């Protein structure tokens, strides 16, 4: 007891075996150990003079077979330490003391199941507030969430004083996996010292290796040296080197910048970024592509923000990007992106049409939209993607809570313009599209968009579509909306109605119909074409097709199946009184007739059927009408002055004429 009288604690040995302690905090904030802490009320007695520094001298500590549990009813967190063991030598005298620590740690938020072990030499001098740790060797392994930690090793030494801290030969190595992805990493800090006004560190290096089934990534981050104070620091060029493989492509890159930081303000900056990334692969033009960049970046941990300004050169493309992470969780990004020109087909060329149809049950997953909130502007001077060419592209983009809005957006394309809005919502896999095209040359657009050469002309088109579903087939089946097209001075490819009707004169006496395959070398010219469509459940229905040419008038109605990529359409062609135009001079005998033409089948094997029998019927009707008119005229005595003088009353004329006609 004598050492206590002089403010010293001297203990031969502390041994604890079989301790089980369960600590809990209730929903109201109270704890099950409040009674051990006193009532917490301030004492009215005057405070005693501060005691001198505590002197501690313990011959050793030995803890075994101990379990500790912590439960928080408010947050539903639960942690448990089992199998805790600790063995030390003498503590408090300043003499080196070896120690060994082992335990199992389990938790639910985050989910943990770890085995922890540590050993080393500890020197403690509480009176001088001086602590030294030498020969540290710590290991952790187990599971942390979905990550399997094969091993985490920590080795090094540290010296802690009231006015300075030094770390020597710190090495941290980690290996583990998540699913089929394997991670290996190591951090080395040979020597660092931090005092109130000074900070020095030798070269720091971090090495990371990530192996995935479809590739790998190797990254090395190095800092040549660091100096400053306990509040701020600066370093020479921080350098990041990358190399790896993704599929059949390999890549290599580097990024460097001076770095500075303010520990108190928790702000860190890369003041002059410079970097380059090159990619090599058999599918790339010339087998390779490269991007170089420069700019600056800043990270503010206190405000939980980050920003980056970049100017990049990607082949022939110049890119200017401003990125601002306005909050960390959930990640929220504001951006402004300008690109002068970009040809993605050079790097990701459109694939050739497959021999078999695309699987309609192939899932469409928009879950990635839920990982980030973003808003900003995108401008591209010239763009080519999937063969489609556009210029002066401008789009406002907003992504929040899994919903992407590209609205409004506009562009110039195919001698016309486009304006509209697009929405993709991960909550239910919903899509909506509204587009208005004005003054567009439709032929090249359809050729580049769908590789279909079926229509020529220039004019306007509009779309208002919506669809939802987990797969491509489901999206097609749910497609609803409306569409309209108005074209001038164009042609329908695959059929030459003028030539077909000219040939029909020689077979007017034959009953039946003729069906032929569409021929892309044939076409039907028009001066005007218009049509509107109502789309329900993937079927586009039309009732008001109108086509005009110098010798033809065409109307029609029918269905276009987006689900089956096919159509069933009945067009009605009428020959008008004109001797000019595409074959018009040879169609006098068909003037005034309506010819039915049925188009049917899949888009890639479309057929048309002309009903010549119906044409013969039309001719017969016209001849019969002419005969009736002639007979009535004769019976009514409409032939001259003599007849006029002798004609009976009108009602008698009609009765006699009809009577004579039926007698004939």
pLDDT of residue 380: 97
Q: How far apart are the first and last CA of the chain?
A: 149
By CB atoms closer than 10 A (0-12, 13-18, 19+), residue 540 is buried
pLDDT, tens digit, for every residue of 201-223?
A: 888 999 999 999 989 999 999 99
Mean of the per-residue pLDDT values for the chain? 83
Question: d(Cα 522, Cα 497) in Å, to the nearest integer?
Answer: 9
pLDDT of residue 536: 96
pLDDT of residue 7: 60
Which parts of 414-538 are beta strand (E)? 416-425, 430-441, 455-468, 480-494, 514-517, 519-536
Percentage, residues of the chain above pLDDT 90: 48
Altogether, the residues listed in the chain come to a count of 664
Among the ranges given (24-28, 403-407, 435-439, 490-494), the one the predictor scored with the smallest mean pLDDT? 490-494
Contacts of 330 (CB under 8 A, 6+ apart): 372, 373
pLDDT tier at 138 (50, 70, 90 boundaries)?
very high
More confident residue, 336 or 617: 336
Tell me the mean pLDDT in the region 236-253: 92
pLDDT, tens digit, for every residue of 67-106?
A: 999 999 888 899 999 999 999 988 877 789 999 999 999 9
Encode 310-363 in three state secondary structure: EEEEECCEEEEEEEEEEECCCCEEEEEEEECCEEHHHCCCCCCCCCCCCCCCCE
On the question of a cis peptide bond just before residue 156, with omega within 30 degrees of 0, the verdict is: no
Domain boundaries, the chain: 1-33+54-179, 199-315, 628-663
Question: d(Cα 475, Cα 422) in Å, to the nearest integer?
Answer: 15
How big, in percent rounded to 5, are the helix, strand and coil portions of the chain?
15, 60, 25
| Cβ atoms of 567 and 599 closer than 8 Å | yes
| Buried-exposed string 477-509: b where 16+ CB fall within 10 A, e elsewhere | bbbbbebbbebeebbbbbbbbbebbbebeeebe
By CB atoms closer than 10 A (0-12, 13-18, 19+), residue 42 is exposed
Which parts of 43-96 are beta strand (E)? 55-58, 61-72, 77-88
- How distant is the alpha carbon of residue 281 from its chain centre? 24
Is the pLDDT at 643 greater than 60? The verdict is: no
Longest dimension (CA), the chain: 161
- CA contacts within 13 A on the Cβ side of 644: 3
More confident residue, 361 or 587: 361
pTM above 0.85, yes or no: no
DSSP designation for 306? E
Question: d(Cα 654, Cα 633) in Å, to the nearest integer?
Answer: 10
Supply angle C-alpha 169, 171, 173, rounded to 5.
Answer: 170
**Phi and psi for 124 in degrees, rounded to 5?**
-125, 130
Tell me the mean pLDDT in the region 632-640: 57
Among the ranges given (118-127, 248-257, 520-529, 626-635), the one the predictor scored with the smallest mean pLDDT? 626-635
pLDDT tier at 660 (50, 70, 90 boundaries)?
very low
Among the ranges given (15-24, 56-65, 345-354, 459-468), the one the predictor scored with the smallest mean pLDDT? 345-354
| Cβ atoms of 519 and 494 closer than 8 Å | yes
**319-333, 494-508, 589-603 — most confident range:** 319-333
Tell me the mean pLDDT in the region 221-246: 88
3-state secondary structure of 550: coil
27, 33, 34, 38 alpha-carbon torsion, rounded to 10°: -170
Is the pLDDT at 650 greater than 50? The verdict is: no
**Among candidates 532, 535, 386, 418, which has minimal Cα distance to 475?**
535
pLDDT tier at 655 (50, 70, 90 boundaries)?
very low
pLDDT, tens digit, for every residue of 511-570?
A: 445 555 555 567 888 899 999 999 999 999 999 999 888 778 889 999 999 888 899 999
> Which pairing describes strands 342-343 and 373-385: parallel, antiparallel, or unpaired?
parallel
């Amino acid at each position: 007891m004598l050492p206590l009288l002089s403010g010293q604690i001297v203990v031969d040995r502390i041994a604890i075996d079989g301790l089980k302690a369960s600590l809990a905090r209730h929903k109201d904030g109270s704890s099950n150990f409040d009674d051990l802490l006193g009532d917490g009320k301030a004492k009215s007695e005057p405070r005693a003079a501060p005691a001198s520094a505590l002197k501690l001298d313990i011959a050793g500590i030995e803890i075994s077979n101990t379990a500790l549990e912590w439960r928080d009813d408010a947050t539903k967190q639960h942690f448990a330490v089992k199998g805790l063991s600790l063995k030390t030598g003498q503590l408090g005298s300043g003499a080196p003391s070896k120690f060994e620590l082992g335990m199992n740690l389990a938790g639910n938020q985050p989910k943990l199941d770890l085995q922890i072990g540590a050993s080393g030499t500890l020197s403690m001098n509480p009176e001088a507030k001086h602590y030294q740790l030498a020969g540290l060797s710590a290991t952790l392994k187990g599971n942390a969430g979905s990550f399997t930690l094969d091993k985490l090793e920590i080795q090094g030494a540290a010296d802690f004083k009231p006015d300075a801290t030094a770390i020597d030969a710190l090495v941290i190595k980690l290996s583990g996996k998540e699913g089929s992805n394997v991670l290996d990493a190591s951090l080395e800090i040979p020597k660092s010292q931090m005092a109130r006004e000074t900070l020095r560190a030798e070269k720091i290096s971090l090495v990371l290796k990530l192996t995935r089934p479809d590739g790998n990534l190797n990254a090395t981050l190095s800092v040549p040296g660091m100096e400053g104070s306990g509040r701020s620091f600066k370093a020479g060029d921080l350098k990041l080197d990358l190399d790896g493989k993704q599929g059949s492509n390999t890549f290599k890159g580097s990024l460097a910048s001076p770095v500075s930081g303010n520990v108190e303000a928790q702000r860190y900056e890369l003041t002059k970024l410079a970097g380059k990334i090159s990619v090599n692969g058999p599918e790339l033009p010339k087998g390779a592509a490269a991007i170089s960049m420069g700019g600056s970046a800043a990270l503010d941990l206190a405000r939980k923000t980050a920003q980056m300004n970049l100017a990049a050169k990607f082949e022939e493309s110049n890119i200017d990007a401003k990125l601002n992470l306005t909050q960390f969780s959930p990640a929220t990004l504001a951006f402004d992106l300008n690109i002068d020109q970009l040809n993605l087909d050079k790097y990701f060329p459109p694939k050739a049409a497959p021999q078999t149809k695309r699987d309609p049950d192939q899932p469409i997953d928009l879950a990635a939209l839920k990982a980030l909130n973003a808003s900003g502007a995108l401008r591209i001077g010239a763009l080519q993607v999937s063969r489609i060419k556009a210029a002066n592209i401008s789009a406002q983009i907003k992504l929040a809570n899994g919903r992407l809005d590209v609205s409004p957006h506009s562009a110039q394309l195919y001698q016309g313009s486009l304006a509209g809005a697009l929405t993709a919502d991960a909550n239910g896999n919903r899509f909506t599209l509204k587009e208005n095209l004005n003054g567009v040359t439709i032929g090249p657009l359809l050729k580049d968009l769908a590789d279909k050469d079926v229509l020529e002309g220039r004019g306007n088109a509009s779309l208002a579509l919506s669809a939802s579903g987990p797969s491509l087939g489901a999206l097609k089946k749910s497609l609803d909306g409306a569409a309209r097209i108005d074209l001038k001075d164009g042609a329908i490819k695959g059929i030459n109605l003028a030539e077909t009707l000219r040939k029909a004169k020689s077979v007017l006496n034959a009953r039946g119909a003729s069906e032929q395959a569409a021929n892309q070398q044939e076409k039907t010219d028009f001066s005007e074409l218009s049509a509107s469509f109502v789309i329900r459940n993937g079927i586009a229905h039309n009732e008001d097709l109108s086509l005009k040419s110098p010798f033809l008038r065409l109307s029609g109605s029918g269905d276009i199946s987006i689900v089956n990529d096919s159509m069933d359409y009945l067009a009605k062609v009428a020959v008008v009184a004109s001797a000019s135009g595409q074959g018009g001079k040879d169609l006098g005998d068909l003037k005034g007739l309506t010819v039915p033409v049925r188009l049917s089948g899949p888009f890639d094997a479309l057929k048309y059927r002309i009903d010549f029998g119906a044409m013969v019927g039309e001719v017969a009707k016209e001849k019969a009408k002419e005969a009736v008119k002639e007979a009535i005229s004769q019976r009514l005595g409409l032939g001259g002055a003599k007849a006029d003088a002798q004609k009976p009353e009108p009602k008698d004329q009609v009765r006699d004429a009809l009577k004579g006609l039926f007698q004939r």
